[in-house]
Amino acid sequence: MRLSIALNFILVAALIFVLGKDIVVPRIAAEIWADDYKQLMYSCDHVMREHYIAKRAVELEASPGNIDNLSSAEVGLLQCHDYDKLRKRMLVWGLEPEELSLIGLEALEEKSYELRRFVEIHEFRY
């Protein structure tokens, strides 16, 4: 009888652990960090665009002003570092990459991004 109770207790504890780890914890992480994730995604997108523009300006004319703008834009890329760290933290907490993509799409809708512009900025140019 005691063995049966102990096994039932172990089974219930394991079930609670699995449900918590795979379902509850990721939902909590999404609730806690989704707004920060959206903001950092937007900020990273913005500074990458600014960096690209500044880099192109230096390629066209390496004036002191353009070089200063490029240096400032490079400092701004720290936003992308923060975005990447938060993304990895959310993955560690159990969110799937698809869930992060969904949060990113929600940010696109909320910020009224022009999707074509977003794609152009993130395309690799050859």
Domain boundaries, the chain: 2-122
User: How does pLDDT run across 85-119, given as a tens digit for each residue?
Assistant: 999 999 998 889 999 988 988 887 777 655 566 56
Dihedral, CA of residue 32, residue 33, residue 35 and residue 37, to nearest 10: -170
Question: Which pTM value belongs to this model?
Answer: 0.69
**pLDDT, tens digit (0-9, with 9 covering 90-100), for 54-75:** 999 988 888 999 888 888 888 8
The answer to whether 26 and 103 are in contact (CB under 8 A) is: no
Confidence (pLDDT) at 123: 61
Contact predicate 52/122, CB 8 Å: no
Q: Does the structure show a pLDDT above 60 at 47?
A: yes
